[in-house]
Amino acid sequence: MSSRVPFSAVPYGQAVTSRPAAGGGRWVEVDPARVTRWVEGFADRHGPPITAVEGYGLLLAAPDGATAELHTPPGAPPSVDVPGFVAAAGTPRRLGLLLARKGAVAVGVAEGTDLAVSKVDTRYVQGRTAAGGWSQQRFARRRDNQAKAALGDAVELAVRLLLPEAATLAALVCGGDRRAVDTVLADRRLAPLAALRADRLLDVPEPRHAVLVAAMAAARAVRILVRDPTG
């Protein structure tokens, strides 16, 4: 299942976000350029950790019982140690971006920290109504038709701008409403893009150009699950 990542517009070079994690601990998102410093700080606080390779990336286990799971960012190759992980996370790569929510979609191609291709499209989708009876049913049908038309536009936008880039992308990072994204990528023409989809799902507001630009940082950020010593 895709992991949901909160959206943040914090610039590169800063920690992106920190939030509690289900099951204990906290998620921290760090710009690739700051991972080395973050690991050094972890070692200073908890002692020199032992590094182990895991399916998600690297596990740092400190002498006092604290752990940090470094999750390989989308499109980066796996690594066996922290220097290799940092180098891989910081290497510029082409990432596809697909943000879809209700009546808005934004697609883009990020080359490192630059947005090389971008397009935002919006279509009006009527909000819910509290009216009852036939009026409510009529509004619901109209809303459903508007939503389907908006998703159809999103599919065509992805076909036109993202599909030709599929062979050059290291990964496709999606964000917004999961059902909307799933519907867009269910189109058979987009199978090459669906195959590149990363587990990470960005939790973004209604897609706009500024949201797409800021999503590049969230897509490249290194997610770290930190658990403090017990007791």
Instruction: Write the CATH number for 8.
Output: 3.30.420.60
Count of the separate structural domains present in the chain: 1
Cα-based angle 106, 107, 112 (whole degrees, multiple of 5):
125
Residue 66 and residue 48 in contact, taking contact as beta carbons nearer than 8 Å: no
| Token pair listed for 115 | 């947005």
What pLDDT does residue 12 have?
Answer: 37
pLDDT given at position 126? 46
E strand or H helix at 180: helix 178-185
Q: What is the pLDDT of residue 6?
A: 53
Say what the pLDDT of residue 230 is. 79
What's the confidence (pLDDT) of residue 170? 97
pLDDT at 9: 40
- Low-confidence residues in the chain, pLDDT < 50: 1-2, 7-14, 16, 124-126, 133
Amino acid, res. 14: Q
Under a CB-based contact definition with an 8 Å cutoff, are residues 15 and 28 in contact? yes
Question: Could you list the residue range(s) of the whole structural domain that residue 159 is in?
Answer: 1-231
> Which stretches does DSSP call E strand in 43-133?
50-54, 57-61, 67-71, 94-101, 104-111, 114-122
Q: Is 126 exposed, middle or buried (0-12, 13-18, 19+ CB in 10 A)?
A: middle
Contact 222/89 with Cβ under 8 angstroms?
A: yes
At 48 the pLDDT is: 97
State pTM to two decimals: 0.82
pLDDT at 11: 43
Determine phi and psi for 216, rounding to 5 degrees.
-60, -40
